[in-house]
Amino acid sequence: MKVLVAVKRVLDYNAKPRVKPDGSGVDLSSLKMSMNPFDEIAVEEAVKLKESGIVSEIVLVSIGTQACQDVLRTGLALGGDRAILVETDLPVQPLGVAKAIVAVCEKERPQLLILGKQAIDDDACQTGQMTAALLGWPQATFASKVELTSESATVTREVDGGLETRKLTLPAVVTTDLRLNTPRYASLPNIMKAKKKPLETVSAADLAVDLAPRLNIVKVVEPAARKGGVVVSDVAALIDKLRNEAKVI
Amino acid sequence: MAVLVIAEHDNTALKSATYNTVTAALQLGGDVHVLVAGSACAGVAAEAATISGVAKVLQADGTVHAQGEPESLAAQVLELARDYTHLVTPANAQGKSFMPRVAALLDSSQVSDVIAVVSSDTFIQPIYAGNALATVQCADPVVVLTVRSTGFDAAEKNGQAPVESIAVVAASSRSEFISQQLTRSDRPELSAAPIVISGGRGMGSGENFKMLETLADQLGGAVGASRAAVDAGFMPNDYQVGQTGKIVAPQLYVAVGISGAIQHLAGMKDSKVIVAINKDPDAPIFQVADYGLVADLFEAVPELTSALA
């Protein structure tokens, strides 16, 4: 079975984003970029399924500029077999990305599509669901456990009150939650080998996908900073502040 | 102009976030209708009809909606979507799952986690774990929104809207509900609790969270946890507060043994008053705390509990 995994290049989760003074967006220049943490979990899950024998090929896909090649190489070093970059210089938004993934799915015909539950930059949490809808496939979001057979995926999901288990008939879309697995690190030999694995670039125009952003970002500002608090000396002082100053207990 | 709010409920009662979502919907202008799609959900529809400002409740009652299946719920909403300028639902696990399906099938973008309505086509949403606020404008004919409940007050309950039954869509044959394991709790729902007491890695064990539970019960609050505490197995996943867990904004948030990583702050920094109890005076949590207590939590928490008893 072929699995397609979508990965996104985002600001590293440890980096503190800086809002540009002109309000046009977040300044990413000179900051470290990495694979979105949820996508690392998606790649890891695909690799584990391949190691268990049920998956035969892992194809990675990313949508963006040439710079996205680095996260695809990372994914190849972690165990992906080959990679596809859908190249565009336009800012990417979930609906356009979903359409690009659909175009790749129509060509590649995977049985399972795995994505992260959300990207930590736009925090949208939409792409997997949108892709599933456009393909007419069932979905399981926020997966914390995936059991795969040749016909179905039984997925345990993290929902608000606990866990829920669903069975999807393949082909299907799964989005990963934090607890699905612990991603491995790429070893140096695997990083070297990944450089020789196939990485194909196709332009969004060749796929006939309209990636033009549909949401207009009017401005981006920093949230109001909380004003500095005080350090209290002991529990009695804390209770006094909460009762008499903040009046919250 | 008309706005459709898709209610979140468990077939017995509305989830509180639905009330906050109606408030957001009312700010868009136009008639606000509420869709209650569920199984044996007449009681929920009747409850939705009492929300102030709601003009009509649509009840889609059938076993296909028993477990809030995203495929069926999206199909149900699509049947109605063309009559509305806006579709709105809470940004909880259910809303996040079905709403993007609706948006894609309408060829509309979705604005996620809206915290403020600027106008009927312009909204504010947090991005980068709440480190930036983006004002976005959506020109799509049907505007699709998920709403962060902490951004809006809950709507009042003195309405009297009519309830109308509508036809239920066919089930998706390719997604089947198997089982669920819900965490039992008698405490208030985490995302709507007025007081939240959260523990982190510093708690040391799951057993030690009993201290926080006692304190929470005394104050009528809920218990939360950081990702570190969840990953360590101290508490179940659905207690996690943060960018990828629950977003809370209670009157009082007490962070116990939590260092304050940006991913955790993303879930609680809109709380009215933040208290940090941590033995490390350099922990980043003190930078956002209104009141900080540098102390060993194993002494401070029991002392706090007995002083409040």
**pLDDT reported for residue B109:** 96
Indicate whether A226 pLDDT > 90.
no
Task: Map residue A65 onto helix, strand or coil.
Answer: coil
pLDDT value, residue B184: 82
Question: Is the CB of B173 less than 8 angstroms away from the CB of A169?
Answer: yes
For residue A15, the model assigns a pLDDT of: 92
CB interface of B with A, residues 190-219, below 8 Å: 191, 195, 219
Q: Give the nearest partner residue to A248 out of B252, B281, B287, using CB atoms.
A: B252
**Crossing angle for the helix pair A127-135 and A94-108, nearest 10 degrees?**
50
Contact yes or no for B294/B278 (Cβ under 8 A): yes
Q: Could you tell me which of B133, B81, B124 has the C-alpha nearest to residue B102?
A: B81
Which pLDDT does position A246 carry in this prediction?
93
User: Considering CB atoms only, which of A130, A158, A246 is closest to B237?
Assistant: A158
Task: Tell me what pLDDT residue B173 has.
Answer: 82
Which regions of chain B are under pLDDT 50? none
Q: Residues A210-225: pLDDT tens digits?
A: 999 999 999 999 999 8
Q: Min CA distance, A51 vs chain B (Å)?
A: 25
Whether A228 shows a pLDDT value over 80: the answer reads: no
Distance CA A105, CA A52 (A): 23
Peptide bond connecting A171 to the previous residue in cis, omega within 30 degrees of 0: yes
Cα-trace Rg, chain A? 21
pLDDT per position as a tens digit, A24-71: 999 999 899 999 999 999 999 999 999 999 999 999 999 999 999 999
pTM here?
0.96
Q: Is A172 on the interface with B (CB under 8 A)?
A: yes
User: What's the pLDDT at B275?
Assistant: 98
**What is the structure's pLDDT at B309?**
87
Q: Nearest by CB to B291, which of A118, A154, A232?
A: A232
- pLDDT value at A104 more than 90: yes
Q: How far apart are CA A237 and CA A233, in angstroms?
A: 6
CA-nearest residue of chain A to B240? A160
Dihedrals phi, psi of A108, to nearest 5 degrees:
-85, -25
- Which of B97, B135, B142, B144 to mutate: most A Cβ within 10 Å? B97
| pLDDT attached to residue B274 | 98
β-pairing, B122-127 vs B2-6, is unpaired
pLDDT of residue B171: 86
Of B77, B200, B111, the C-alpha closest to A214 is: B111
- pLDDT attached to residue B183: 85
Q: Nearest residue on chain B to A98, judged by CA atoms?
A: B104
pLDDT tens digits for A116-125?
999 999 999 9
Looking at residue A227, its pLDDT comes to 80
A 27-46 near B (Cβ less than 8 A): none
Does the pLDDT value for residue A74 go beyond 90? yes
The B residues from 7 to 66 touching A (CB cutoff 8 Å) are: none
Q: In this prediction, does ipTM exceed 0.90?
A: yes
Q: Which tokens hold the place of B256?
A: 């116990």
Q: Is the confidence at residue A241, as pLDDT, over 90?
A: yes
- Residue A232, CB-side half-sphere exposure with 13 Å CA sphere: 20
pLDDT for position A125: 98
Provide the phi-psi class of A3: left if phi over 0, else alpha when psi is between -120 and 50, else beta: beta
Residue A23: pLDDT band by 50, 70, 90 thresholds? Answer: very high
The residue with tokens 């990963």 is A176
